[in-house]
Amino acid sequence: MLLEGKVSIISGIGPGLGQELAYVFAREGSDVVLAARTESKLREVADEIARQWPERKVVICPTDIGDPAQTQRLVDTTVAELGRVDCLVNSAYQPPPFTMFEDADMESWRKAFDVTVFGTLTLTQQVVPAMKAAGGGSIVFVNSMIQKKPLATQSGYATTKGALTIAARMLAKELGAHKIRVNSTFMGWMWGPPVEGYVEYAVSQGQDRDAVIADITKDIPLGIIPDDADCANAVAFLASDLASVITGAELNVNGGEIML
């Protein structure tokens, strides 16, 4: 198991990649602390972990990532109940509405930055003392290929993710002396509830299912839409001791659609 004996905080638990991160980390041996705003979703995921991996310790902590008091409570709860923090997966985000830049409401961008950037970085800052006390740790930022393959109407989302890219590089430099590694994964299309919903909507509008999927995969060398669970595996690898000499890395996890 890649993460046997570890204690991991995972933010952004939800349908799709968020829940798969929780399952993969539990499968690979980590006790997990699950964070998201929706308590019912946290309980659903925790119950599934308890069913499949009853030996794992699972703590749920409803958390608004944009509230520094709540993220501090998340860290404090983890240390109080599980003793330490070895891994932090920053998966929570809140994109602004998808509009052309000239039509964008900058206030919506500010709100997105409050969550995706400042909320994530506040949680990261708050977890550093616990990782230092544990003798090191691993932080993984779940990023997006949107900043490497720009799409019209998504400039706000891409800009928040771009800020996290630079932050991760800087933190890798600053925290390396404390044996805290910081890496990023760049996700593309992922087969899970959000993309399944996109495909189903296109079909409901009269499009052929195979044609919709072919349009998505035409630029993906592997010829598939990567599965959420497979993408979560890449995060688990970077969090694990197998990646003990990897920090400051930016790993493309998108079937080869982007190779930069």
pLDDT digits (tens, 9 = 90+) for 24-74: 999 999 999 999 999 999 999 999 999 999 999 999 999 999 999 999 999
pLDDT given at position 120: 98
Predicted local distance difference test score (pLDDT) of residue 203: 87
pLDDT digits (tens, 9 = 90+) for 197-216: 888 888 898 999 988 898 99
Rounded CA-CA distance 100/184 in Å is 27
HSE-up of residue 32 (Cα within 13 Å, Cβ side): 35
Do 157 and 171 contact (CB within 8 A), yes or no? no
Looking at residue 201, what is its pLDDT? 85
Q: What residues have CB less than 8 Å from 109, skipping those under 6 apart?
A: 96, 156, 159
Which pTM does this prediction carry?
0.94
Residues of the chain with CATH 3.40.50.720: 7-190+227-253
Q: What percent of the chain has pLDDT over 90?
A: 84
DSSP helix/strand/coil, 109: helix
Percentage of the chain beyond pLDDT 70 is 100
- Count H helices and E strands in the chain, helices first: 9, 7
pLDDT at 199: 86
Please report the pLDDT score of residue 196 as a whole number.
Answer: 85
Q: Which CATH class is domain 7-190+227-253?
A: alpha beta
- How does pLDDT run across 4-34, given as a tens digit for each residue? 999 999 999 988 999 999 999 999 999 999 9
Mean pLDDT to the nearest integer, 244-253: 97
pLDDT tens for residues 89-129? 999 999 889 999 999 999 999 999 999 999 999 999 999 99
Q: Work out the mean pLDDT of the chain and round it to a whole number.
A: 95
pLDDT at 15: 87
pLDDT band at residue 151, thresholds of 50, 70 and 90? confident
Angle at 58 between CA 118 and CA 161, to 5 degrees: 25
Q: What is the pLDDT of residue 43?
A: 97
Distances from the Cα of 87 to the Cαs of 5, 34, 53, 111, 224, in angstroms?
Answer: 11, 12, 19, 27, 30
The pLDDT confidence band at residue 193, using thresholds 50, 70 and 90, is: confident
